[in-house]
Amino acid sequence: DVQLVESGGGSVQAGGSLRLSCTTSGYIIDDYAIAWFRQAPGKERETISCISHSDGSIYTAPSVKGRFSISSGDAKNTVYLQMDTLTSDDTAVYYCAAVATIATMSANVCSHNGMDYWGKGTLVTVSS
């Protein structure tokens, strides 16, 4: 089975930064993508960003573009989410997930409804 584990969450003051990590283990085909999501209390799960291991494409949600950046580590089993200029609106549980796909990254491809594997999430709390 494929396992995903998030790390790097915590509490930070508004304006600060955090870097989340998503580490995968177990067998997964070469053509896959890793996506980051978040879910705040009372809100729907929201796609943040995703990156394709197949074609290298990236999708980033307009709501966080310019502040959040996804990247792959030197070890291909790790994907990062750099979060800068955090605000209280960014407070949420952040999840990473994986999906087998050769498609170019887009909002539709990276929808939470299409993921094959999920991590358990890591809490990010931004105080002001």
Query: CA-to-CA distance for 37 and 46, rounded, in angstroms?
Result: 5
Question: Which band of pLDDT confidence, cut at 50, 70 and 90, is reported for residue 76?
Answer: confident
* pLDDT beyond 90 at 80: yes
Q: Collect all residues with Cβ–Cβ distance below 8 Å to 48 and sequence separation of at least 6.
A: 35, 36, 37, 38, 60, 61, 64, 68, 70, 81, 94
- Would you say the C-alpha torsion 60, 77, 44, 92 has a positive or negative sign? negative
Greater model confidence, 16 or 77: 16
What's the average model confidence in pLDDT over 20-26? 95
* pLDDT beyond 90 at 30: no
Q: Judge whether 124 and 83 are in contact, CB under 8 Å.
A: yes
What's the average model confidence in pLDDT over 14-40? 93
pLDDT at 70: 98
Instruction: Name the average pLDDT for the chain.
Output: 95
Q: Collect all residues with Cβ–Cβ distance below 8 Å to 62 and sequence separation of at least 6.
A: none
